[in-house]
Chain A
């Protein structure tokens, strides 16, 4: 078998094999059962709660959960703005990089706060080490923890009982960080160090090359940050080119592990759902639907990238290794395409190849992954998005067979459906309205230095930027000249809306449902753990999420593909 194909097959199987025990472990953590890290981390967490004055055993209703979540996020935003706008004079800035302008700081603070990590700066020249570690890496931990805590609340609400008590937000949040993200990051960071990723505090090194050029080489505390950015579906890299950088991702082994880390926790959360609710069949159906969608994107993407660029074939050169523009030799075309899909179906957004230079249809699959945003999805929030689609599917299926729609023993009524519909439609609204606005501005001022590519591909660059923002993804068609007040502010607003509303919505639905009377399953109940229901969810996802974007995709990647000679 081709070693490049074997490499990505191995990466995927490794991920699933690791995700099963991890899912079991996560379920235990959220259920408050004993785990092997209790003796080390238990005392630390208790100390945290005592010193903060938090009664972590006191259960909250869904509104209190949201209050806690939003309050702590406000503090983090303040801290991020302060560091980013002052890093120029703050300590630990050996390369003397400047403070950020207010609009860039706003965009960066928001984008790391919402777990997106859209980067309108370049790490080597735009961040101090203090900013990287104390601001960005800090947010990479806690915002991933926030998403997972929100997911844990929904898990709790899905239990077969009637209550408004849904656990304690701080408890879920702290444990997501200390029990899941921290140990995994620790292990990954150490392996990366071994593979050659640096972790030091000195500024740039100066070297003279074999040909006699003098070159400055950026380095820094990279390993610690790369580990959490991969695991927490953050994606904000230390260097400008993210995991394409040879120090951030030095070898094929590091590439396998970093790529597996992108989808590891999102998949493990699905298995955790099965163990937590003791509804393994439901988890398998969810996993199955997500995996079918994922493979539908991966297979053609890998094929197309390995085929190469038809325009280069026409020039009469040899293209055995596939389309290599924007890709690294040590990874090859197959694993770059695989990563491109993995990072966009989850809301990770780290890259190991430049997405702007992907062949048109692979670029479209990357876009579609973000437009659906629920195939594995971000840590925690991926499942929240999927939950919304399940609610809609239950409702539509109920209407089709003429029964009251019920989901896990709870009646779904008008209020929940309204919330679910708003959340499902918000995503296309933000993306399409944003792109329309940008296109309108650009048509009026074609001299703006925004687009790095003409024609359809230029349109795709703008579409990609808003899609990436709304999906809280953070990857980009990086040719776009996006460090301008227009892009910083408009994507910043999209980021805020598309993070918090899709968290508030599902928690509200789950909270309302949890409070309803539990109706035991009967012969008349629509079964949600069957392949038929899985197909139903898949259809809903495709109709609601994918088809809404079809006209936009036609103007961008599809038009580019069909005119590509």
Chain B
């Protein structure tokens, strides 16, 4: 053991220089050449900063497309999932309550039309996306609140669908923040 003590310590110090100083500093340097300079991607709308592209934010008003449920209420400084088991009775009651609330806010929607992803909590609590079905099911409500034709809103949703990677891999999804920013713009246009 003794013969290894000093060489091991010195080697540790040198590895430290390489992995803790050189490596992260190089990545930090390269980050400066990237689209966001290594920062999070802020999103602006009408000259105001309204969010971060990848981070989901709370939308619970009827006039917006609502995002998925979040176990941490979209707290972007403390991500988390519900960690509820699929058979947990308390959890199932919670989902049932979300379905009932949704039906109250969306009287034109039938129960069997509600996509499960809208009433279940995401893994991070910060899911920035909705499935296409979860966006479309909210269109009638928003059309009613905002007095915008349903067809126009459906077209808006379709415009914002992000197709699978290279058209081949992964699910289709919609960024909720981008969709809601576009929705606000559409509202001001139709009002004029």
B155 at the interface (CB under 8 A from A): no
- Binary interface profile of A, 64-78, with partner B (CB < 8 Å = 1, else 0)? 000110111001100
Q: Are A68 and B117 in contact (CB under 8 A)?
A: no
Distance, CA A240 to CA B125, complexed state (A)? 11
Interface residues of A in 23-49 (CB under 8 A from B): 44, 47-48
Distance, CA A239 to CA B4, complexed state (A)? 36
A2 → chain B, closest Cβ, in Å? 9
| Chain A residues whose C-beta falls within 8 Å of the C-beta of B57 in the assembled complex | 209-211, 213, 215
Given contacts A53-B6, A221-B28, contact A357 B81 (CB under 8 A): yes
Q: Are B164 and A318 in contact (CB under 8 A)?
A: no
Q: Are A317 and B115 in contact (CB under 8 A)?
A: yes
- Binary interface profile of B, 163-175, with partner A (CB < 8 Å = 1, else 0)? 0110011111100
Q: Are A321 and B8 in contact (CB under 8 A)?
A: no
Could you say which of B80, B86, B173 contacts A311, with CB atoms under 8 Å apart? B86
| Chain B residues whose C-beta falls within 8 Å of the C-beta of A332 in the assembled complex | 170-171
A167 at the interface (CB under 8 A from B): no
A552 at the interface (CB under 8 A from B): no
| Chain B residues whose C-beta falls within 8 Å of the C-beta of A321 in the assembled complex | 115-117, 131, 133, 171
A478 at the interface (CB under 8 A from B): yes
| Chain A residues whose C-beta falls within 8 Å of the C-beta of B112 in the assembled complex | 316-318
Q: Are B54 and A247 in contact (CB under 8 A)?
A: yes
- Binary interface profile of B, 34-57, with partner A (CB < 8 Å = 1, else 0)? 111111111001001111111111
Could you say which of B42, B111, B172 contacts A207, with CB atoms under 8 Å apart? B42
Given contacts A75-B9, A142-B15, A199-B27, contact A457 B87 (CB under 8 A): yes
B190 at the interface (CB under 8 A from A): no
Q: Are B92 and A311 in contact (CB under 8 A)?
A: yes
Q: Are A217 and B116 in contact (CB under 8 A)?
A: no
Interface residues of A in 103-139 (CB under 8 A from B): 122, 124-125, 133-134, 137-138
A245 at the interface (CB under 8 A from B): yes
Distance, CA A48 to CA B19, complexed state (A)? 13
Q: Are A190 and B170 in contact (CB under 8 A)?
A: no
- Binary interface profile of A, 315-326, with partner B (CB < 8 Å = 1, else 0)? 111111101111
Interface residues of A in 164-210 (CB under 8 A from B): 170, 174, 177-178, 182, 185-186, 189-190, 193-194, 196, 198-202, 204-205, 207-210
- Binary interface profile of B, 92-105, with partner A (CB < 8 Å = 1, else 0)? 10011001000000
Distance, CA A361 to CA B71, complexed state (A)? 24
| Chain B residues whose C-beta falls within 8 Å of the C-beta of A223 in the assembled complex | 27, 31, 38
Q: Are A224 and B23 in contact (CB under 8 A)?
A: yes
Interface residues of B in 75-126 (CB under 8 A from A): 75-92, 95-96, 99, 111-117, 119-126
Given contacts A209-B58, A352-B123, contact A317 B169 (CB under 8 A): no
Q: Are A71 and B58 in contact (CB under 8 A)?
A: no
Could you say which of A53, A68, A137 contacts B19, with CB atoms under 8 Å apart? A137
Distance, CA A252 to CA B133, complexed state (A)? 19
Could you say which of B26, B77, B173 contacts A125, with CB atoms under 8 Å apart? B77
Q: Are A178 and B127 in contact (CB under 8 A)?
A: no
Given contacts A4-B170, A67-B1, A479-B83, contact A134 B20 (CB under 8 A): yes
| Chain A residues whose C-beta falls within 8 Å of the C-beta of B11 in the assembled complex | 48, 52, 54, 72, 170, 174
B14 at the interface (CB under 8 A from A): yes
Q: Which of B37, B91, B120, B130 has most chain A Cβ within 10 Å?
A: B120
A22 at the interface (CB under 8 A from B): no
B68 at the interface (CB under 8 A from A): yes
Distance, CA A10 to CA B15, complexed state (A)? 35
Interface residues of A in 310-353 (CB under 8 A from B): 311-312, 315-321, 323-332, 335-336, 351-353
Q: Are A329 and B23 in contact (CB under 8 A)?
A: no
A360 at the interface (CB under 8 A from B): yes
Q: Which of B34, B49, B53, B58 has most chain A Cβ within 10 Å?
A: B34
Could you say which of A54, A208, A217, A454 contacts B50, with CB atoms under 8 Å apart? A208
Distance, CA A146 to CA B80, complexed state (A)? 32
Q: Are B79 and A201 in contact (CB under 8 A)?
A: no
Q: Are A246 and B56 in contact (CB under 8 A)?
A: yes
- Binary interface profile of A, 354-374, with partner B (CB < 8 Å = 1, else 0)? 101111100000000000000
Q: Are B170 and A217 in contact (CB under 8 A)?
A: no
Q: Are B40 and A247 in contact (CB under 8 A)?
A: yes
A403 → chain B, closest Cβ, in Å? 41
Q: Are A357 and B170 in contact (CB under 8 A)?
A: no
A98 → chain B, closest Cβ, in Å? 14
Q: Are B170 and A335 in contact (CB under 8 A)?
A: yes
| Chain B residues whose C-beta falls within 8 Å of the C-beta of A124 in the assembled complex | 77-79
Q: Are B95 and A137 in contact (CB under 8 A)?
A: no
A278 at the interface (CB under 8 A from B): no
| Chain B residues whose C-beta falls within 8 Å of the C-beta of A418 in the assembled complex | none
B153 at the interface (CB under 8 A from A): no
Q: Are A246 and B124 in contact (CB under 8 A)?
A: yes
B166 → chain A, closest Cβ, in Å? 9
Distance, CA A320 to CA B131, complexed state (A)? 10
Interface residues of A (CB under 8 A from B): 3-4, 6-7, 10, 44, 47-48, 51-54, 67-68, 70-72, 75-76, 79, 95, 122, 124-125, 133-134, 137-138, 141-142, 170, 174, 177-178, 182, 185-186, 189-190, 193-194, 196, 198-202, 204-205, 207-211, 213, 215-219, 221, 223-224, 239-241, 244-247, 250-253, 255-256, 308-309, 311-312, 315-321, 323-332, 335-336, 351-354, 356-360, 452-457, 460, 477-479, 560, 563-564
The 5 closest A-B pairs by CB, nearest first: A479-B83, A244-B123, A457-B85, A252-B170, A354-B81
10 sampled A-B residue pairs with Cβ under 8 A: A54-B7, A141-B19, A194-B34, A196-B53, A209-B51, A216-B75, A252-B170, A255-B170, A456-B87, A564-B87
Query: With contacts A326-B84, A455-B87 known, what are 8 further pairs, Cβ within 8 A?
Result: A4-B170, A72-B4, A215-B75, A217-B76, A219-B39, A223-B27, A360-B86, A453-B83
